[in-house]
Amino acid sequence: MKVIAIIGAAPTSSACTEESGEVPRLDLPLTRREFLQGSGVLTGTLAVGSVLATLAPSRSWAVELRTLSAAEGETLMQMGRVLYPHAKLSDAVYALLAKDLDADAGKSADTLKQLRDGVAALDKSAGGSFAKAPPAKQLEIVKAIEGQAFFSTVRGKCITSLYDNDMSYTTFGYPGASWDKGGYITRGFQDLKWLPDPPAAASPPSGR
């Protein structure tokens, strides 16, 4: 699972456990030397009162980019939010998208060129900075490039970068895999708070 670096955080225990039913503080370390290594660095703070802010050792977060610039990373973050908008999902999670795309760019000159050309095109269409354009304008611009290779690259990466990490699991309330613990039948399967409890006759015996 992916975790994100938090400035000044000290390593703690595993970020994901189900044994106690409690969500521990996230393990999100970053040293100053690591912080200064990249070609670009994305930074921000977790919203006060958010789920992540209550679990992370620090509200400040930083993601290192080794190939792309911070401005390019911010544009990719914002494009990811346009493609998969979640008001309660922190920018720190969308920064993982930029980090993963940056890693791909570092392995392939073609991917790097595609990403840089795509980001430049987004900024040009926005008349300056795509990341700072109004939401309606951003949506219009992204819709206009649907079907292009750059669009497909970013959208495809969103699926894993945005949803396969501990921060998203915590934000959306996903407790993690349960197949090795017997499944969800006795571990939250009926923990719906917004529906009335069904009558006992509606469910057959579990067989246990």
Number of domains in the chain: 1
pTM for this entry: 0.69
Q: Among 35-39, 56-60, 94-98, where is mean pLDDT lowest? A: 35-39
Q: What does the mean pLDDT of the chain come to?
A: 76
The reply to whether 97 falls in a domain is yes
Gap between the Cα atoms of 18 and 7, Å rounded: 27
Residue 44 is part of which domain span? 32-175
Q: What's the pLDDT at 49? A: 60
Helix axes 70-83, 149-161, angle to 10 degrees: 80
The residue that leads in pLDDT, 148 or 44, is 148
Is 122 contained in some domain?
Answer: yes
* Any domain includes 170: yes
Q: Is residue 45 part of a domain?
A: yes
Phi, psi of 168 (to 5 degrees): -65, -40
Considering the domain boundaries, does residue 27 fall inside one?
A: no
